[in-house]
Amino acid sequence: MTDLDLDCRGKRCPLPVIELAKRIGDVPVGGIIRVIADDPAAATDIPAWCRMREHEYAGPGEPEATAPSYLVRRIR
């Protein structure tokens, strides 16, 4: 179960990461955001953002019919 789903389909780099950065504070510490993004760059950009911002990349989420998803756990 996720605390927030961000639908970033159709948004190209760096917009999915920008949306994630804007919304990470909307979930409690320990909460999970699922980012749905069809931009292939998201597969590397989201884990890299997590490392830089000290959040946990929790791995791939359940894919949508048209796009993969990525799970991010808020650490701080």
What are φ and ψ of residue 52, in 5° steps? -70, -35
Tell me if residue 50 is catalytic.
no
Catalytic residue, from 4, 13, 15, 67: name it: 13
Task: Look up residue 1 and give its DSSP letter.
Answer: -
Active site residues: 13
